[in-house]
């Protein structure tokens, strides 16, 4: 068993435990394996352990890795359909390769980006699945739209022809203990409930990372984005 295989099992056990503690079915939470800065071989090791959904943060690195992983899997005789999620911040001049190569985008924080992604989504692909990122930590965070703007932005995104709005995403500022970690997640869940009450067909609450997945699951996460706990610490310096 590879270390990545064992780590995936351990993360699965954490998710099961958190779901049970929250009285939720474990199948109601999807695991996104965040492979940013990690080589294609690590993704292949995770695929061998049954993982099929992966998250990337950087456009060039992500697009290159999608091709490399497909080549490696084909070369070993196990071509596998994978689902690639772009979870990083996105500049408007870099939307096209994301619209062409990814199935999901998690960090939509303004309409201009969503419009470009919709315009650039190739006709032969299914609609791009998207989440709107909300800043639920106030001053402590720079990314995401303001909570007051979330409903209007979601309504505008849902109206774009080549996007399918799936829900909300947040990256809260780090907090000391689980009680403090749960507060911003609870705020995101409340906004999510508002979207549903407004009639938007959303089903995805993308929240929770390696250090706070239990808190996120307790507050209703339906998708957790886990990097370090699966692939180990990131050594390579991250591009801001
Ligand atoms: C890097 C990253 C993750 C994974 O973080 P870990 O702490 O390594 O689990 C999740 N979400 C986003 C948006 C990230 O950039």
Q: Of 176, 230, 222, whose CA–CA distance to 47 is shortest?
A: 230
Ligand 1 atom nearest the C-alpha of 57 is 15
pTM of the entire predicted model: 0.97
Ligand 1, pocket-test mutation among 36, 137, 227, most atoms within 8 A of CB: 227
For residue 196, the model assigns a pLDDT of 98
Ligand 1, pocket-test mutation among 55, 106, 209, most atoms within 8 A of CB: 209
For residue 239, the model assigns a pLDDT of 57
For residue 142, the model assigns a pLDDT of 79
Average pLDDT over residues 207-232: 98
Task: List pLDDT tens digits, range 52-99.
Answer: 999 999 999 999 999 999 999 999 999 999 999 999 999 999 999 999
Protein residues whose CB sits closer than 6 Å to any atom of ligand 1: 34, 36, 57, 87-88, 171, 209-211, 225-229
Give the residue, by CA position, lying nearest to ligand 1 atom 7. Answer: 210
Report CA-CA distances (Å) from 153 to 70, 143, 191, 226.
35, 15, 12, 27
Average pLDDT over residues 32-52: 98
pLDDT above 90 coverage of the chain, percent:
93
Task: List pLDDT tens digits, range 94-151.
Answer: 999 999 999 999 999 999 999 999 999 999 999 999 999 999 998 777 799 999 999 9
| pLDDT > 80? residue 238 | no
Q: Band the pLDDT of 176: cuts 50, 70, 90.
A: confident
For residue 89, the model assigns a pLDDT of 96
Q: Band the pLDDT of 240: cuts 50, 70, 90.
A: low
| pLDDT > 80? residue 236 | no
Distance 87 CA to ligand 1 centre (A): 8
Q: Band the pLDDT of 206: cuts 50, 70, 90.
A: very high
Residues 39, 161: Cα–Cα separation, whole Å: 35
């Amino acid at each position: 068993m590879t270390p990545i295989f064992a780590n995936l099992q351990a993360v699965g056990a954490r998710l099961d435990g958190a779901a049970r503690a929250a009285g939720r079915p474990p199948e109601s939470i999807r695991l996104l394996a965040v492979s940013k800065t990690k080589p294609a071989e690590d993704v292949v090791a995770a695929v061998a352990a049954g993982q099929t959904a992966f998250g990337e943060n950087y456009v060039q690195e992500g697009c290159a890795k999608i091709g490399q992983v497909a080549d490696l899997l084909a070369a070993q005789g196990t071509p596998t359909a994978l689902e690639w999620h772009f979870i990083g911040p996105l500049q408007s001049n870099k939307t096209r390769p994301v619209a062409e190569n990814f199935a999901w985008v998690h960090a939509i924080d303004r309409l201009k980006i969503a419009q470009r992604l919709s315009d650039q989504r190739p006709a032969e692909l299914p609609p791009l699945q998207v989440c709107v990122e909300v800043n639920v930590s106030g001053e402590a965070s720079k990314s995401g739209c303001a909570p007051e703007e979330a409903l209007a932005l979601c309504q505008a995104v849902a109206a774009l022809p080549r996007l399918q709005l799936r829900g909300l995403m947040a990256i809260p500022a780090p907090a000391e203990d689980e009680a403090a970690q749960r507060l911003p997640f609870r705020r995101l869940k409340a906004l999510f409930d508002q979207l549903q009450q407004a009639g938007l067909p959303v089903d995805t609450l993308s929240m929770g990372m390696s250090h706070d997945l239990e808190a996120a699951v307790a507050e209703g996460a339906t998708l957790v984005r886990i990097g370090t706990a699966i692939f180990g610490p990131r050594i390579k310096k991250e591009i801001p």
